[in-house]
Amino acid sequence: MKAKHTFFILMMSVGALTSVKAQDTTTMDLKSCMHYAVEHSTKMRIAHADNRDAQIDRRDAILAVFTPTIEGGTYAYSNFGRSIDPETNTYIRTTSFHNGYSLSAGINIFNGFQAVNNLKITKTAQLMGLTKEQQTEDQICLATMEAYCNVLYYTEMQEALQAQVTTAEKSVQLATRQEQLGQKSHADVVQIQSDLAERHYQLTTCRNNLNNAMITLKDVMFWPIEKPLKIDDSLVRLPQCDSPTDRTDEIFQMVEFAKTNMPSVLMAEGTMKNARLALKTARWQLLPRLSLYGGWSSSYFTYPGMEGYVPTPYFEQLKNNGGEYVQLSLSIPIFDRLSKHSNIAKRKNAYDRAQADYEQALQTVEAEVRRAIADRDGSADALRQADTRAELQQEAFTLNTKRFEQGLISSIEYQTASNNYLNALAEQLNARLQYFIKNSVVNYYGGIHYIEQ
């Protein structure tokens, strides 16, 4: 009975471990990998922090325009030496205690539109922060897509090489048997064994490349390196690409869309706008500044050590000693060692640089769009040719395998046919994945983010 109970516990433990292992190796498709990478990326955390800083700057700019600065203060001290009596305004040598309060407020009426321009600058900076966050997300998704495709490529190549190894092992067995029957020479057998060793070497190299590709994918996704990751391989069985058509209208529309919507262009445009506002602010600083201030203050005093002295009650003193003031201040800049003029010159240079960066961004985006479309069309042509070549090489390899088994071709001819078929499979798989990536890039420039495709 005890043995049965122990066996039951052991089976339950094995089942739990199997369940955990199955949970750890859940198959993830490309979109799931992208979502995971975006959610766990440290770059996205940094972008979120930058956006929170931009929101704080925006709030501060709004408060600077519409609200005054308010300050309150108080003090309390005892004087043990010579001092002035606040009532008689004469010197006394009696210990005294003083307590005072003040409240003041001030607001800039005109400061060269600095606060208003800062408000506009922070609004643009906040929008740029959101744009940069989207750009970071797109870059993470593209890097994940490329790493994902590399893993798929080496996974499929490993399966193809494993099939080649199995076929080569059968060929060695067949050739050995034919040598015993006198149908093949020892040199043919050695040649076939050499082909098997070559296939084993290629399989080992492919496995190493697959491990490296998987580590790269985990690194891009911020996936725990030691945790297993299984990805879906349906991407390698995508439908055939579209036939080539006239792309003139597509190129024109995509270029115009990219010039007004791509994150790199929007950020360059925002930088240029902020540089122009900063230049205006610097020029306005040559004008006088006008500020308004107001405040209230009061105090209390007593002489604790004076015999027979009866102090005025605390709140009565605060009322009697209270005073208010209103101040209108005009500050006129006369000479500041040309610092304002130097600032204007620097702001102008910054605006010129921002204009140049914006124009370069437009040029770069147009070139990228045209290059992306050309690459997609070129990869589509290459994929169609690779499909045709793979089908023909597969048929040729099948026929040569039968001819080799019948002794109609040499081992070198069979090895050549095998290599041609393997290369055709590799090029077909590479062309299919390349077309997928190139087509995704074109869709991205058309306004569809990678994670939404």
Which tens digits make up the pLDDT trace of 200-254?
999 999 999 999 999 999 999 999 999 999 999 888 876 666 655 556 777 888 9
Alpha helices in 41-109 (DSSP H): 42-66
Q: Which domain holds residue 49?
A: 31-67+111-287+333-452
Tokens standing for residue 55: 């929101």
- The phi-psi region of residue 337 (left if phi > 0; otherwise alpha if psi is between -120 and 50; otherwise beta) is left
Q: Are residues 339 and 379 in the same domain?
A: yes
pLDDT digits (tens, 9 = 90+) for 399-430: 988 888 787 888 788 888 888 999 999 999 99
316/195 same-domain check: no
293 strand-pairing partners: 106, 327
CA–CA separation, 296 and 302 (whole Å): 21
Same domain, 140 and 242: yes
Choose among 33, 31, 145, 134: nearest CA to 435: 145
Give 147-172 pLDDT, tens digit per residue: 999 999 999 999 999 988 988 888 88
Dump pLDDT digits (tens) for 102-141. Answer: 999 999 999 989 999 999 999 999 999 999 999 999 999 9
Instruction: Give the CA distances from residue 35 to residues 77, 353, 443, in Å, rounded to whole numbers and listed in that order.
Output: 64, 37, 18
Give me the number of domains the chain comprises. 2
- 260's tokens: 């007004």
Please check whether residues 190 and 134 belong to one and the same domain.
yes
Quick one: 99 and 120 in the same domain? Answer: no
* Least reliable range by pLDDT among 85-89, 351-355, 384-388: 85-89
Are 62 and 134 in the same domain?
yes
**Is 174 within 8 Å of 407 (Cβ atoms)?**
no
Q: What percentage of residues in the chain have a pLDDT greater than 70?
A: 92
85 and 229 co-located in one domain = no
Q: What is the pLDDT of residue 183?
A: 75
E strand or H helix at 134: helix 114-180
Would you say the C-alpha torsion 223, 226, 227, 231 has a positive or negative sign?
A: positive
Q: Is 398 left (phi over 0), alpha (psi -120 to 50) or beta?
A: alpha
Which band of pLDDT confidence, cut at 50, 70 and 90, is reported for residue 282?
very high
Closest CA to 153 of 372, 437, 417: 437
Query: How far is the CA of 36 from the CAs of 44, 121, 228, 356, in angstroms?
Result: 12, 34, 15, 37
How many Cβ atoms sit within 10 Å of the Cβ of residue 306?
13
Q: What is the DSSP letter of 409?
A: S
Q: What is the CATH number of the domain that holds 177?
A: 1.20.1600.10
Report how far residue 322's alpha carbon sits from residue 297's, in angstroms, rounded to the nearest whole number. Answer: 6
Which pLDDT belongs to residue 242? 62
